[in-house]
Structure 1
Amino acid sequence: MRKEKLVNFQNIAPGQTAILTCPLGPTYERIKINLTGGLLISMITNIVGKINDKPFFTVTGNDLLAENLYEGRSNPTNLLLLDFTRMNAKSSGSKMGATAQTSEMLLTCIPSALLQKLTFEITLAATAPAGCSMTALAQINDPTKNPMVLKKLYSAGAFPYAQDNDIPLAVGMAGAVIKKMFVHQSNYGPAWATSTAYTVGQLVTDGSNLYQCTTAGTSASSGAGPTGTGTGIVDGTAQWAYVSAAGSISYMQVRNAGVIIWEGAPADAQGDQTDYGKVTQAGLTVFDFDLQGFRDKWLNTAVTNNVFLRLTTTGGPFNWRLYQDIVDPVQR
Structure 2
Amino acid sequence: MSSNYDQQIDLQNVVPGATAVLKLSYFATFDKIHLNLSGGLTKAHIGRIEGKANGVTFFVDDGSLIGVRDAYHGLFVDDSVLTIDFTEPNTRGGAAAQYLSAVPRNLLASLVFEIEIKAAAPGGSVMKAEAEYREPTPNPFILRRKDFNVPLPNVGENDIMLPVAINGGLIKRIWLHAPNVTAVELRTNATPRIRAKKASIEFAQKRNRLVPQAGIVVLDFIMDGNMMNMLNTAGVNECLLRLTTSAADTLKCYIDYVDDMKRLA
TM-score (structure 2 length as normaliser): 0.96
Query: Following the alignment from structure 2 to structure 1, what is the Cα–Cα distance between the partners of residues 118 and 109?
Result: 30
Is residue 87 of structure 2 the alignment partner of residue 156 of structure 1?
Answer: no
- SS of corresponding position for 1:167: strand
Query: Following the alignment from structure 1 to structure 2, what is the Cα–Cα distance between the partners of residues 300 and 87?
Result: 21
The aligned amino acid for 2:151 is A
Q: 2:256 aligns with which of 325, 328, 332?
A: 325
Query: Following the alignment from structure 1 to structure 2, what is the Cα–Cα distance between the partners of residues 262 and 160?
Result: 22
Query: Following the alignment from structure 1 to structure 2, what is the Cα–Cα distance between the partners of residues 275 and 127?
Result: 40
Query: Following the alignment from structure 2 to structure 1, what is the Cα–Cα distance between the partners of residues 33 and 197?
Result: 35
Unaligned runs of 5+ in 2: none
Partner of 2:17: 15
The aligned amino acid for 2:225 is G
* Aligned-residue RMSD, C-alpha: 1.0
Partner of 1:287: 219
- SS of corresponding position for 1:82: strand
Partner of 1:268: 200
Query: Following the alignment from structure 1 to structure 2, what is the Cα–Cα distance between the partners of residues 176 and 34?
Result: 33
Partner of 1:63: 65
Q: Cα offset for 1:105?
A: 0.7
Per-residue deviation, residues 53-93 of structure 1 (Å, max 9, x unmatched): 111111111121211111111122221101111111112xx
The aligned amino acid for 1:56 is F
Partner of 1:37: 39
Q: 1:305 aligns with which of 237, 241, 258?
A: 237
The within-5 A match list for 1:165-180 is: 165-180=158-173
Unaligned runs of 5+ in 1: 92-100, 189-247
Partner of 2:119: 126
Partner of 1:143: 136
Which moves more between the two structures, 167-176 or 26-35? 167-176
Alignment size in residue pairs: 261
The list of structure 1 runs, each at least 4 consecutive aligned residues, that deviate by more than 4 angstroms after superposition, is: none
Q: Which has the larger radius of gyration?
A: 1
> Percent identity between the aligned chains?
33
The within-5 A match list for 1:52-91 is: 52-91=54-93
Query: Following the alignment from structure 1 to structure 2, what is the Cα–Cα distance between the partners of residues 263 and 78?
Result: 38
Partner of 1:217: none
CA contact (8 A) 1:251 1:266 kept: yes
- SS of corresponding position for 1:119: strand
TM-score (structure 1 length as normaliser): 0.77
Per-residue deviation, residues 16-39 of structure 1 (Å, max 9, x unmatched): 000000014100011111011011
Query: Following the alignment from structure 2 to structure 1, what is the Cα–Cα distance between the partners of residues 193 and 239?
Result: 10
Query: Following the alignment from structure 1 to structure 2, what is the Cα–Cα distance between the partners of residues 10 and 31?
Result: 16
CA contact (8 A) 1:24 1:117 kept: no
The aligned amino acid for 1:330 is M
- SS of corresponding position for 2:262: coil
Q: Cα offset for 1:331?
A: 3.1
CA contact (8 A) 1:42 1:77 kept: no
CA contact (8 A) 1:47 1:58 kept: yes
Partner of 1:98: none
Partner of 1:226: none
Per-residue deviation, residues 157-211 of structure 1 (Å, max 9, x unmatched): 11122131112111111111000000112xx5xxxxxxxxxxxxxxxxxxxxxxx
Query: Following the alignment from structure 1 to structure 2, what is the Cα–Cα distance between the partners of residues 281 and 77?
Result: 17
- SS of corresponding position for 2:240: strand
The aligned amino acid for 2:258 is V
Query: Following the alignment from structure 1 to structure 2, what is the Cα–Cα distance between the partners of residues 252 and 88?
Result: 25
Query: Following the alignment from structure 1 to structure 2, what is the Cα–Cα distance between the partners of residues 27 and 315?
Result: 44
Query: Following the alignment from structure 2 to structure 1, what is the Cα–Cα distance between the partners of residues 262 and 9?
Result: 25
Per-residue deviation, residues 276-322 of structure 1 (Å, max 9, x unmatched): 11111111110000111111100000011001211011222x11110
Per-residue deviation, residues 73-118 of structure 1 (Å, max 9, x unmatched): 1122221101111111112xxxxxxxxx111111110011110000
CA contact (8 A) 1:252 1:311 kept: yes
Partner of 2:108: 115
The aligned amino acid for 1:303 is G
Per-residue deviation, residues 237-286 of structure 1 (Å, max 9, x unmatched): xxxxxxxxxxx112101101001111111111111111111111111110
